[in-house]
Amino acid sequence: MSLRVGTSAGGTKNVGLAVERAVSQNSDELSYSTVESPGYVGTIYRMAQDQFNGGITDNNSLTKALDDRGSFAEKSVDEIPYYGFYAFPYSIYVVARNGTGIETFDDLAGKNVYPAEPGYSTRATTLDVWSQKPTKGIYDKMNIQNMGVGDAPGAMEEGRIDAAIAYGTPGAGYTGWVTEYDARVDVHYVEPTDALKQSIESYAGAGSSEISVDEWGMQQDIQTDQVFTWDLEVNYTFTPEASEDAVYELCRVVDEHNDAVNEAEQQFNDFESTSDMLGSARKRIPVHPGAAKYYKENDAWDDNLSVGK
């Protein structure tokens, strides 16, 4: 039995390769191969076209596919993949350059704000959160910057960006361009308002967290003890046609040999229990029957969830 798993570049690919390695070391039954795919949205499209039977994608893209929003407004898909297990979060918050006078989210009105490069899922999720009521008024007054991530640290250094998102995976560090501006520019945490927290918590495509900077800090002191984040939740998903036995076996390997995956790639979730694998599951996104069988057999199933047909 085999799984071909569509995986976008960067940290996501590193996670996929770590899972592939764990499977090759700990399963005699499952053949797992990593297939390069163009981003989380592209992975959903390619799975709908049966180019591969597994894929790493995120809850925001899946929610948009269900609702025909974003890219899916112009080109919808007949089906979305079923949920398998939670792979990792990209947790996101805002920092501002020192000297800009920015202290809270409301102060971003009228400022040059960089929410990552166009096309990035972290950017899409950020703008989806900000553009809702009750934060839409502030968002509409921001000067959103559109450069590539390679140019952003220099633009911050030169004063052309006043505030930017910071993101990565708690416990594993920050993404590359964020570590670069952390090393080059003095920044501080931008405090969330109650309105921002409300927007985050009401948006179906994102999770939220409060994280101590002792667990996940920058190189510099960003003048806070903890950060409140909106989270892009990244999942392993599978087409309805993917073998139940193959998905079950992958869940078993990831659960029983979680340490092997973490040793190869720290970004992958460190599960304290089998039920943590369902940490990013959503009522609207059915769980693959093979995964559901594994959770039920291990007393980890959540009755609020549905099983795909």
* pLDDT per residue as tens digits for the range 215-224: 999 999 999 9
Tens digit of pLDDT for each residue in 157-166? 999 999 999 9
Residue 119 has pLDDT above 90, yes or no: no
- CA-based nearest residue to 268, from 64, 21, 4, 3: 21
Share of the chain above pLDDT 90, in %: 95
Domains in the chain (CATH in brackets) are 2-87+234-297 (3.40.190.10), 89-232 (3.40.190.10)
In this prediction, residue 192 carries a pLDDT of: 98
Instruction: List the beta bridge partners of residue 189.
Output: 95
pTM of the model: 0.91
- CA-based nearest residue to 123, from 92, 77, 152, 159: 92
Please count the other Cβ atoms lying within 10 Å of the Cβ belonging to residue 159.
12
For the residues 174-201, what does the mean pLDDT come to? 97
For the residues 54-78, what does the mean pLDDT come to? 96
> Would you call 113 exposed, middle or buried from its count of C-beta atoms within 10 A (0-12, 13-18, 19+)?
buried
Tens digit of pLDDT for each residue in 20-42? 999 999 999 999 999 999 889 99
Structure token digits, residue 1? 């039995």
Helix (H) / strand (E) containing 93: strand 82-97
Q: How far apart are the first and last CA of the chain?
A: 20
Instruction: Name the average pLDDT for the chain.
Output: 97
